[in-house]
């Protein structure tokens, strides 16, 4: 029974949005085969060691050996078990692992073309995502959209402490180090939604540093980018009060394209279109932004946005209702 439960629990981790054993891209397939190869290798070593251990208990006549024969036997055990076997295992792992690591590097493509670049910056505790583009840079947060079926180079860095960018079903992970840009190439085989998670402990809300990653068909990706290049519409009269509240309390940290240029908090230009709030803390649904504004220090304690206790609940509701309309 205990074995069945342990097995079921273990196997449950093999699928789902964050499983390295359910790869959805070449880099992740390489990592998964490396994992299975190592599991098989270590399984063989384990079985061998247990077999030798059991054999040691078998009652038997010890053959009479001269001291010289004993020395030779001991030497062959040390040579075989202590040097040859570990050496061969390490060489095998190296032959398997080095090409895998090489394939993850953003080397020039055979045709000389360069993949699209998406810049991701880790902050305590959210993700800034930038799409440098000649037609105009697009900025978003905590929600990354990429084209499927083509390689994408991620240039990652950290704004404050070390974070790590990890999309288990596509590959990775890679450190996001302040003052340095690390590069990783990932490709999604087909459109889909993939979980991504900060993989380096970065402070009290490390667990609430999730990234919603969506791979879409290349044409849909171009449409998505084009929609985000347009600034959101000016708030109409119904949202005028919310805009005043935003100008007074939020605009120094948050950007809304065309209206406000704060840059220390997440860009909110398309917040109405995101899947979650607080980098995976709360699912986006009607009324969720107002709830987040009122309770964010309870939902994600220690996050860098000050509490809004000095604002009236109806002001927060109005603010949430306007922000929900920011959908490109």
Residues at the site binding ligand CUA, with contacts judged by CB under 6 A: 122, 125, 163, 198, 200-202, 206, 209
DSSP, collapsed to helix, strand or coil, labels residue 113 as: coil
Q: Among residues 125 and 224, whose Cβ is nearest to ligand CUA?
A: 125
Write down the least CB distance from residue 228 to ligand CUA, Å. 24
Q: Among residues 228 and 296, whose Cβ is nearest to ligand CUA?
A: 296
Q: Among residues 35 and 201, whose Cβ is nearest to ligand CUA?
A: 201
Query: Which is it for strands 143-147 and 210-216: parallel, antiparallel or unpaired?
Result: parallel
Q: Among residues 206 and 229, whose Cβ is nearest to ligand CUA?
A: 206
CA distance 81 to 282: 54
Write down the least CB distance from residue 158 to ligand CUA, Å. 8
**Nearest residue to 277 (alpha-carbon basis) of 261, 290, 264:** 290
As a residue count, the chain comes to: 328
CA distance 103 to 122: 24
Write down the least CB distance from residue 128 to ligand CUA, Å. 12
Q: Among residues 36 and 201, whose Cβ is nearest to ligand CUA?
A: 201
Instruction: Provide the β-strand partners of residue 183.
Output: 155
Tokens coding 266:
């997440």
Write down the least CB distance from residue 122 to ligand CUA, Å. 5
CA distance 244 to 240: 6
CA distance 198 to 164: 5
Write down the least CB distance from residue 126 to ligand CUA, Å. 9
């Amino acid at each position: 029974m205990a074995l069945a439960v342990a097995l079921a629990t273990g196997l449950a981790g093999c699928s789902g949005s964050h499983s390295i054993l359910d790869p959805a891209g070449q880099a992740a397939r390489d990592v998964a085969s490396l994992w299975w190869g190592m599991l098989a290798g270590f399984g063989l070593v384990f079985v061998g060691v247990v077999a030798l251990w059991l054999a040691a208990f078998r009652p038997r006549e010890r053959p009479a050996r001269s001291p010289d024969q004993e020395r030779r036997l001991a030497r062959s055990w040390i040579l075989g078990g202590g040097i040859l076997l570990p050496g061969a295992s390490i060489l095998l792992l190296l032959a398997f692992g080095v090409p895998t690591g090489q394939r993850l590097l953003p080397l020039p493509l055979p045709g000389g073309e360069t993949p699209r670049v998406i810049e991701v910056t880790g902050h305590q505790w959210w993700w800034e995502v930038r799409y440098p583009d000649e037609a105009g840079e697009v900025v978003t947060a905590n929600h990354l959209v990429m084209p499927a079926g083509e390689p994408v180079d991620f240039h990652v860095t950290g704004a404050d402490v070390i974070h790590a960018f990890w999309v288990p079903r596509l590959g990775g992970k890679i450190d996001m180090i302040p003052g340095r840009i690390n590069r990783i190439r990932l490709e999604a085989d087909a459109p889909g939604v993939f979980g991504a998670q900060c993989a380096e402990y970065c402070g009290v809300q490390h667990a609430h540093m999730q990234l919603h990653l969506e791979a879409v068909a290349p044409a849909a990706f171009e449409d998505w980018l084009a929609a985000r290049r347009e600034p959101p519409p000016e708030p109409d009269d119904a949202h005028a009060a919310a805009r005043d509240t935003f100008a007074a309390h939020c605009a120094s940290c948050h950007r809304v394209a065309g209206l406000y240029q704060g840059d220390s908090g997440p860009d909110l230009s398309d917040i109405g279109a995101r899947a979650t709030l607080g980098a995976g803390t709360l699912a986006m649904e009607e009324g969720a932004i107002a709830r987040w504004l009122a309770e964010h220090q309870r939902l994600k304690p220690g996050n860098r946005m000050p509490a809004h206790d000095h604002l009236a609940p109806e002001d927060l509701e109005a603010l949430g209702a306007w922000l929900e309309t920011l959908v490109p």
